[in-house]
């Protein structure tokens, strides 16, 4: 694999993902409307729960938006990642996935390019949501919009790798929607996307423990800290390790001689 060939494949897959997203107006609209509905309808309730006091472990003032808005940004990445995995199942049934995997490039690079393209397609939507959130006086530091970009990319690819791994075990398109919902909602609600970890620990230590084990929690914290010019080394490490592990297992599962493909051949 040479660098020009690898970059050409990445550019082609990225262009395809952008064209697919732009062509799906309903998916594009829902990606923006969903977090705005959560912010507009439920924001006031969360504000009354969390209050306006100083909330540790941060040193500066933190209102309810500091918890909810980064969590909703991460939610956009989560839904988009699993919807991208749904399209992987569709492409596999239609045969286009087989054509992609037969390209004269390493399988791990083709899957990585798919993850990168899927993440790049949703990042502009996340930024649009963050800008619209300023209407609700959610105004992070200006440099926070720059600092959060690497966090969004890493979190999006990590969640995409988990969705990719999940898609490798689904044999029929109609089964994936139920499995996707079964995975998304536990990951979202058993996390710090809507409540800080200390609040979860007050309500239920077991729930707080589950949230700590949830990779999505660390994606949320990484985005939250980066948006306010902070760093969470633990969250970065967990997201990085989960990305590598998920992508490695997905590449193994999509191997024609092993994983999903071997089971399907045996059937």
What does the pLDDT read at residue 100?
63
What does the pLDDT read at residue 42?
64
CA 200 → CA 162, 182, 212, distances in Å? 25, 21, 10
Q: How many CA atoms lie within 13 A of 240 on its CB side?
A: 8
pLDDT < 50 stretches in the chain: 49-63, 259-267
User: CA 70, CA 170: separation in Å to the nearest integer?
Assistant: 31
What does the pLDDT read at residue 207?
86
Would you call the peptide bond into 57 cis, given omega within 30 degrees of 0 as the criterion?
yes
What does the pLDDT read at residue 196?
78
């Amino acid at each position: 694999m040479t660098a020009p060939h690898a970059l050409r494949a990445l550019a082609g897959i990225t262009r395809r993902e952008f064209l697919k997203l732009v062509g799906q107006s309903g998916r594009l609209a829902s990606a923006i409307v969903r977090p705005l509905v959560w912010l507009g309808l439920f924001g006031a309730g969360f504000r009354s729960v969390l209050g306006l006091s100083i909330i540790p472990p941060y040193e500066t003032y933190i209102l309810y938006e500091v918890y909810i808005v980064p969590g909703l940004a991460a939610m956009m990445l989560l839904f988009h990642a699993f919807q991208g995995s749904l399209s992987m199942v569709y492409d596999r049934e239609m045969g286009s996935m087989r054509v992609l995997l037969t390209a004269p490039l390493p399988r791990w690079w083709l899957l990585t390019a798919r993850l990168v393209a899927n993440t790049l397609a949703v990042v502009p939507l996340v930024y649009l949501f963050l800008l619209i959130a300023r209407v609700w006086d959610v105004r992070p530091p200006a440099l926070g919009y720059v600092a959060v970009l690497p966090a969004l990319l890493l979190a999006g690819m990590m969640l995409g790798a988990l969705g990719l791994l999940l898609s490798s075990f689904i044999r029929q398109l109609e089964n994936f929607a139920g499995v996707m919902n079964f995975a998304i909602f536990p990951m979202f609600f058993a996390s710090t996307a809507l409540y800080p970890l200390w609040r979860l620990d007050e309500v239920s230590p077991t729930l707080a423990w589950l949230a700590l084990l949830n990779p999505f929690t660390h994606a949320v914290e990484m985005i939250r800290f980066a948006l306010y010019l902070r760093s969470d080394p633990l969250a970065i490490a967990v997201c990085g390790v989960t990305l590598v592990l998920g992508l490695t297992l997905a590449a193994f599962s999509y191997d024609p001689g092993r994983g999903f493909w071997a089971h399907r051949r045996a059937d």
